[in-house]
């Protein structure tokens, strides 16, 4: 398996523009996570999907952020409009749920490095 795939790997955009980050989880995994990592705030969990349904979006910073998972093999994280403070590395991770509810291991994608000017 190719692992978790994220695109683009790097994105530079101007303030006010829409940004769409994409993620393809590992085939067969039923949970997907979006994280953001910055020097100031560290690693933050933005949203978590299970079986394509958003379960916990309490980490989504504000209405400018939205995430979708239209099917088991694809998810997007959209920022509209983008602001300089959104500059960060955005990670997608997927996991498979084993027999016991909490027994799962996350596999991370390489991340998308976003710079908003």
Partner 1 sequence: AQSVSQHNHHVILSEAASLELGCNYSYGGTVNLFWYVQYPGQHLQLLLKYFSGDPLVKGIKGFEAEFIKSKFSFNLRKPSVQWSDTAEYFCAVRGRFGAGTRLTVKP
Residue numbers at the binding site for partner 1 (CB under 8 A): 33, 35, 42-45, 48, 56, 91, 93, 100-111
Nearest to partner 1 of 74, 108 (CB atom): 108
Q: How far apart are CA 94 and CA 109, in angstroms?
A: 8
Strands 112-116 and 106-108: unpaired
Shortest gap between Cβ of 105 and partner 1 (angstroms)?
6
Shortest gap between Cβ of 49 and partner 1 (angstroms)?
11
Shortest gap between Cβ of 79 and partner 1 (angstroms)?
21
Nearest to partner 1 of 35, 65 (CB atom): 35
For 37, 73, 83, the CA distances from 9, given in Å and listed in that order, are 14, 18, 19
Q: How far apart are CA 21 and CA 36, in angstroms?
A: 12
Angle at 3 between CA 28 and CA 115, to 5 degrees: 120
Nearest to partner 1 of 31, 81 (CB atom): 31
């Amino acid at each position: 398996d190719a692992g978790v795939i994220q695109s683009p790997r790097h994105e530079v955009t101007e303030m006010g523009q829409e940004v769409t980050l994409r993620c393809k989880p590992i085939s067969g995994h039923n949970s997907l996570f979006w994280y953001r990592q910055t020097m100031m705030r560290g690693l933050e969990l933005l949203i978590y999907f299970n079986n394509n349904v958003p379960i916990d979006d309490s980490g989504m910073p504000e209405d400018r952020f939205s995430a979708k998972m239209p099917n088991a093999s694809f998810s997007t994280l959209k920022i509209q409009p983008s602001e300089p403070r959104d500059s960060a590395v955005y990670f997608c991770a997927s996991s498979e749920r084993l027999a016991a509810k909490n027994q799962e291991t996350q596999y991370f994608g390489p991340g998308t490095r976003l710079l908003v000017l």
